[in-house]
Amino acid sequence: MSKVVALASCLGMLLCTSVQAAQPAAALDRPWLNPSLSPDARAKAAVAAMTLDEKMRLVFGYSDQALTEVSKVPDDVVSPELKAYVVTHLVKGSAGFVPGVPRIGIPDQTQTDASIGVRNSFIPSTALPSSLATAASFDPEVPRAGGAMIGAEARATGHNTMLAGGINLAREPRNGRNFEYAGEDPLLAGTMVGALINGIQSNRIISTIKHYAVNDQETLRTSLDVTISAEAMRQSDLLAFELAIEKSSPGSVMCSYNLINGRWGCENDYLLNTVLKHDWGFKGFVMSDWGAVHSTAPAANNGLDQFTGFCCKEDKPWFAPPAMKAALQSGELSHGRLDDMVERILWALFAKGPVDDPVKVTPIDYAANAAVSQRAAEESLVLLKNDGDLLPLRGVKSIAVIGGHADQGVLAGAGSSDVTPLGGDRKIGGHSYLPSPPLDALRRELPKTKIVFDAGTDHAAAAALAVQSEVTIVFVTRHNSEGSEASLTMVDNQDDLVAAVARANPKTIVVAETGGAIYMPWVDQVPAILEAFYPGIGGGPAIARTLTGKVNPSGHLPISFPASPDQLARPEIEGLGLPDGTPAAVSFDEGAAIGYKWYDMKGYKPLFWFGHGISFTRFAFSDLAAQADGKGIKASFSIRNLGKRQGKGVGQIYVAPADWKKAGWEAPKRLGAFAKTDLKPGKSQRIELTVDPRLLATYEAAGNNWHIRGGEYDVSIADSAATRAQSVRVKLPDTVWSAEHAGN
């Protein structure tokens, strides 16, 4: 202990660093550096050894603008020593930085975005398909492998905290960030995002999960007050978070910009203290979205542990040392709560690896990582229709490839998820294209076929080329970005282009690169449609190999595609067109009836249902059996490949009370379980799955309980939310249990 005290009195951080280097971890007098102790014990011991100034370093983080902006912050807000430390230690081009405490061996938190890959404007990295695309794989191994790749690149580029794990449900099909999230269903999203976080954290670094919560539209995201009942939240957006957190234990949860029921996301006692930390027993720390903080003591007391992304001198430094000290002095903030904040941050640093396995800059095998990304895309492309088995392309003499900048690359989403690929991306009309042109890949796959490209700007010229070609492939694109919404109607007359080309050549295939759902007014005019979402750095080859049959498509939609605007829950997005920061309110009256649940409940027929996706082979489901199992249901079924090609089938179990209104459900049915399996022609497999009891229950705020209403439930096996191959009935007893630690 004496050494700890002596070191605690050292003056400048640079001096402390050298002392630390000269005195490697001694387990006896620095118990927090002893990996055989629990992360809880280590965090407690480290907090006890820290000075007040050191504690305050950990709760206040700087944004990527810090390099240029932090020097302008007054010295009485951030001391010159700390400013110098930040500027010399952050990873240039990353999203954020929280200084560590070198004196006691606590590393800096080097934070960056990681929705689809490591975002750093100076360091190239590998772009996975968008999270919405990998969710379409319906195979958690795909985001897990992708996350492991991202985490490895993070380590190799000196980042130890990844701002990943986007899981806001696609409640609003026009939300500009839907491409960063994992679709409209809590079970699918929770499973896929949990797997991504597991992959990232397998590299001994921290991942967040974000943006907590119901930050489901981008319009006025920093000033919008969302009204939604606790019941609806717990059965939808929060359930997705709950499932993912249980599956992956992220080190941190990022609270969102918006208000929820009148309280800021990062100052929301109900969401942060009651649900996350109490009911779910979350041990990590809550970091703010970049600058999403509005107070000192109220934010800290309502559950925020770290103000992250402090930017510029205009920002209010709510968690900077002077503000924290004033709150402590006035008694508005207790030393106990500050210790808890620091302990939670340290817990994550000990439990997830950054203390024991510091990140180190090493070379990256970009070719190997691009292969991981291409495999993810090949599992995720969704074949929406294929009339007359036009696909896969066989023995075709000539192909017209039209539009979508298919000669340049594949579209990527914009905002903080933006990844700099090796060699840079291609900017066309202000949008980023990853250098993986489908045109080149098709030419590689079909060396004997005459393939001619037309940009698609002149529809008559495109149609003339289509007439001369045996088959036409039209690429359409829809740009999505953080900070704005995406129209479901495609821009730049692309609908007219498809219609003109389809009139000219009935053998027209559409490949859509979109951040989410789009309207397809030409859906009946084209025989084949492949939804590629944003397919990542291996997108070109993945599309070409699917169109030519090397890859048998196996993706299924993680979102429904509405047929027309009158099917949307809200005709207009609240606040659209108003300047950023304008106070506004929206009531999410559809509650937990999101996506297919909404269409089902309203009796609408969307263009394509959640779960839909076809293959070059056919699968049959049979012998469904189901029985009550604990509070949940155990279901088993057989799946057989009836076709002539090997392929991957996805079995989807839907559950439905005999009377959904009486059972208090938001909609007639819910996805209860799913599994993907690879089958050779003629082969079959028996699959057994369990339905989590929360997916059979309603949440009751009064007693903080989950409640399954006793009665008959239909259990169906299906390959989309619209079909059912077989159903059986199960009788469930009336069951009520506490929502505290419900997953344990």
Contact positions vs ligand BGC (CB under 6 A): 95, 113, 163, 210, 289-290, 309, 416
Cβ-based nearer residue to ligand BGC, 137 or 256: 256
- The CA distance from 457 to 185, in Å, is 37
By CB neighbour count within 10 A (0-12 exposed, 13-18 middle, 19+ buried), where does 204 fall? Answer: middle
Q: Residue 65 or 685: which CB sits closer to ligand BGC?
A: 65
Query: How many whole angstroms separate alpha carbon 276 and alpha carbon 256?
Result: 14
**Shortest Å distance, C-beta 290 to ligand BGC:** 4
Cβ closer to ligand BGC: 108 or 113?
113
CA-based nearest residue to 539, from 509, 513, 557: 513
Rounded least distance, CB 113 to ligand BGC, Å = 5
Q: Which is nearer to ligand BGC, 93 or 743 (CB)?
A: 93
**Shortest distance (Å) from residue 267 CB to ligand BGC:** 17
CB–CB of 137/555 below 8 Å? yes
- Tell me how crowded residue 36 is: count the other CB atoms within 10 A of its CB: 7
Our CB check for ligand BGC shows the closer of 176 and 672 to be 176
**Rounded Cα gap, residues 134 and 318, in angstroms:** 38
CA dihedral 272, 276, 278, 282 (to 10 degrees): -120
**Which residue has tokens 């110098």?**
84
Q: Looking at beta carbons only, is 218 or 600 nearer to ligand BGC? A: 218
DSSP β-bridge partners for residue 581: none
Q: Taking the complex as a whole, how short is the minimal distance between the CB of residue 179 and ligand BGC, in angstroms?
A: 13
Measured at the CA of 163, the angle between CA 291 and CA 184, to 5 degrees, comes to: 100
Strands (E), 408-506: 410-411, 426-428, 431-434, 450-454, 471-478
Tell me the residue type at 743.
G
C-beta of 163 vs 320, nearer to ligand BGC: 163
Shortest approach of ligand BGC to residue 414 CB, angstroms? 12
399 neighbors 471 (Cβ within 8 angstroms): yes
Tell the smallest beta-carbon distance from residue 133 to ligand BGC (Å): 18
CA distances, 351 to each of 44, 320, 453, 470, 743 (Å): 13, 26, 53, 59, 20
Shortest CB 98 distance to ligand BGC, Å: 13
Is residue 512 a contact partner of residue 438, using CB atoms and an 8 Å limit?
A: no
Shortest approach of ligand BGC to residue 266 CB, angstroms? 12
**C-beta of 68 vs 627, nearer to ligand BGC:** 68
Q: What is the token pair recorded at 602?
A: 């309203």
CB of 158 to ligand BGC, least distance (A): 17
Q: Which is nearer to ligand BGC, 238 or 414 (CB)?
A: 414
Q: If DSSP states are collapsed to H, E and C, what string results for 269-297? A: HHHHHHHHHHHCCCCCEEEECCCCCCCCH
Q: Which is nearer to ligand BGC, 95 or 224 (CB)?
A: 95
Rounded Cα gap, residues 586 and 62, in angstroms: 31
Distance in Å, CB of 119 to ligand BGC, minimum: 7
Q: How far is the CB of 208 from ligand BGC (least distance, A)?
A: 8
* Contact status, residue 424 vs residue 464, Cβ threshold 8 Å: no
User: Which residues are within 8 A (CB) of 452 and not within 5 positions of it... i.e. 6 or more apart?
Assistant: 398, 399, 400, 401, 465, 469
Nearer to ligand BGC, 155 or 210 (CB): 210
